[in-house]
Chains A and B, each alone.
Chain A
Amino acid sequence: MSEALLSIRDLSVAFAQGGEQTLAVDRVSFDIAPGETVALVGESGSGKSVTALSVLKLLPYPAASHPSGQILYGGRDLLAGDERELRRVRGNEITMIFQEPMTSLNPLHTIEKQIGEVLKLHRGMGDAQARARTLELLAQVGIQEPERRLQAFPHQLSGGQRQRVMIAMALANEPKLLIADEPTTALDVTVQAQILALLARLRRENDMSMLFITHDLGIVRKVADRVCVMTGGRIVESGPTETIFSRPQHAYTRHLLAAEPKGEPPRPDPNAEKVMEGERIKVWFPIKKGLLRRTVDHVKGVDGVDVTVRAGQTLGVVGESGSGKTTLGLALSRMIASQGEIRFAGARIDDRSFRQMRPLRRQMQIVFQDPYGSLSPRMSVAEIIQEGLRIHEPRLSAEERDRMVVDVLEEVGLDPAARFRYPHEFSGGQRQRIAIARAMILKPRFVMLDEPTSALDMSVQAQVVDLLRDLQRRHDLAYLFISHDLKVVRALANEVIVMRAGKVVEAGTAEQIFHSPKTDYTKALIAAAFDIEAVPGGVVSE
Chain B
Amino acid sequence: MPAVRVERRAEAKGLPARRPWLSPINQRRWQNFRANRRGYWSLWIFLVLFVLSLFAEFLANDKPILASYKGEILFPVLVDYPEEKFGGFLAVTNYRDPFIQEEIEANGWMIWPPIRYSYRTVNSEIPEAAPAKPSWLYTKEERCQRYEEGVDDPRCTIGNWNWLGTDDQARDVLSRVIYGFRISVLFGLVLTAASAMIGVSAGAVQGYFGGWTDLLFQRFIEIWSSVPVLYLILIIAAVLPPGFWVLLGIMLLFSWVAFVGVVRAEFLRARNFEYVAAARALGVPNRTIMFRHLLPNAMVATLTFLPFILNGSITTLTSLDFLGFGLPPGSPSLGELLRQGQRNLDAPWLGITGFFSLSIMLSLLIFIGEAVRDAFDPRKTFK
Which A residues contact B (CB, under 8 angstroms)? Answer: 17-19, 333, 335, 357-362, 364-366, 368-370, 373-380, 382, 387-388, 391-392, 403, 406-407, 410, 416-417, 420, 422, 424-425, 435, 438, 442
Interface: B13 (CB within 8 A): yes
CB within 8 A of B10: which of A333, A366, A377, A416? A416
18 contacts between A and B (CB under 8 A): A18-B381, A18-B382, A359-B283, A360-B283, A362-B283, A365-B282, A369-B274, A374-B278, A376-B279, A387-B284, A387-B292, A391-B283, A391-B285, A407-B6, A410-B2, A417-B13, A417-B16, A422-B23
- A367's nearest neighbour on chain B, judged by CB, is B278
Contact partner of A370 (CB less than 8 A), chosen from B2, B19, B274, is: B274
* In the assembled complex, B91 has its CB within 8 A of some CB on chain A: no
Q: How far is the CA of A369 from the CA of B273 in the complex (A)?
A: 12
| A-B residue pairs, 5 tightest by C-beta | A361-B283, A373-B274, A420-B19, A417-B15, A403-B3
In-complex Cβ contact of B6 among A17, A379, A416, A442 (8 A)? A416
Over the window 1-34 of chain B, the binary record of Cβ atoms lying under 8 Å from chain A Cβ atoms (1 yes, 0 no) is 0110011011001011111100111000000000
Complex-state Cα separation, A442 to B279, whole angstroms: 13
Are B23 and A366 within 8 A (Cβ)? no
B residues sitting closer than 8 Å to A (CB atoms) are 2-3, 6-7, 9-10, 13, 15-20, 23-25, 273-275, 277-285, 288, 292-293, 296-297, 381-383
Give chain A residues whose Cβ lies under 8 Å from the Cβ of B24: 422, 424-425
Contacts of B15 in A (CB 8 A): 417
Q: How far is the CA of A179 from the CA of B19 in the complex (A)?
A: 47
B9 partner residues in chain A, CB cutoff 8 A? 417
What residues of chain A lie closer than 8 Å to B17, measured between beta carbons? Answer: 417, 420
Give A391 Cβ to nearest chain B Cβ, in Å.
5
Q: In the complex, what's the smallest C-beta–C-beta distance from B174 to chain A, in angstroms?
A: 46
Decide if A392 touches B381 in the complex (CB within 8 Å).
no
User: Contact: A373 with B282, CB < 8 Å?
Assistant: no
Complex Cα distance A359/B285, Å?
Answer: 11
Q: In the bound complex, do residue A387 and residue B279 qualify as a contact, i.e. CB atoms below 8 Å apart?
A: yes
Q: How far does the alpha carbon of A435 sit from the alpha carbon of B383 in the complex, in Å?
A: 35
Interface centre among A376, A377, A392, A422 (most CB of B within 10 A): A376
Residues of A within 8 A of B283 (CB): 357-362, 388, 391-392
Question: Contacts A370-B274, A416-B10 hold; do A388 and B282 have CB atoms under 8 A apart?
Answer: yes
A373-B273, A376-B279, A406-B6 known, 9 other contacts, Cβ within 8 Å: A18-B381, A333-B281, A335-B281, A361-B281, A369-B274, A376-B293, A382-B19, A417-B9, A420-B20
Q: Determine if A379 and B274 form an interchain contact, defined as CB atoms under 8 angstroms apart.
A: no
Chain B residue numbers with a CB within 8 Å of A391 are 282-285, 288
| A441 to chain B: closest residue by CB | B282
Which B-chain residue is minimally distant from A405 (CB atoms)? B3
Let me know if B282 and A442 touch, CB within 8 A. Answer: yes
Instruction: Tell me whether B281 and A435 are in contact (CB under 8 A).
Output: no
Which residues of chain B have C-beta atoms less than 8 A from A380's C-beta?
A: 19, 23
CB distance from B219 to the nearest CB of A (A): 17
CB-CB < 8 A to A18: which residues of B?
A: 381-383
Indicate if the CB atoms of A19 and B13 lie closer than 8 Å. no
> B85 to chain A: closest CB distance in Å?
57
For A359, the closest partner residue in chain B by CB is B283
Contact B280 A335 (CB under 8 A): yes
Q: How far is the CA of A69 from the CA of B20 in the complex (A)?
A: 44
Residues of A within 8 A of B275 (CB): 373-376
For B285, list chain A residues within 8 Å (CB): 358, 391
**Least CB distance, A530 to chain B, in whole angstroms:** 30
Q: Which A residue's beta carbon lies closest to that of B280?
A: A335
CA distance A280 to B325 in the complex (A): 70
CA of A358 to CA of B288 in the docked complex: distance in angstroms? 13
- A residues less than 8 Å from B381 (CB atoms): 17-18
CB distance from B286 to the nearest CB of A (A): 9
Q: Which residues from chain B contact A403 at a C-beta distance below 8 Å?
A: 3
**Does A438 lie within 8 Å of B23, measured CB to CB?**
no
Contacts of A375 in B (CB 8 A): 275, 278
Query: Considering the chains assembled together, what is the distance between the CA atoms of A375 and B24 in angstroms?
Result: 16
Question: With A and B bound together, what is the CA distance between A529 and B278 in angstroms?
Answer: 30
Query: Cβ of A368 and Cβ of B296 under 8 Å apart?
Result: no
Determine which of B7, B23, B280, B281 lies in contact with A406 in the assembled complex, contact meaning CB atoms within 8 Å: B7
Q: What residues of B have a CB within 8 angstroms of the CB of A357 in the complex?
A: 283
**Complex CA–CA separation, A359 to B284 (angstroms):** 10
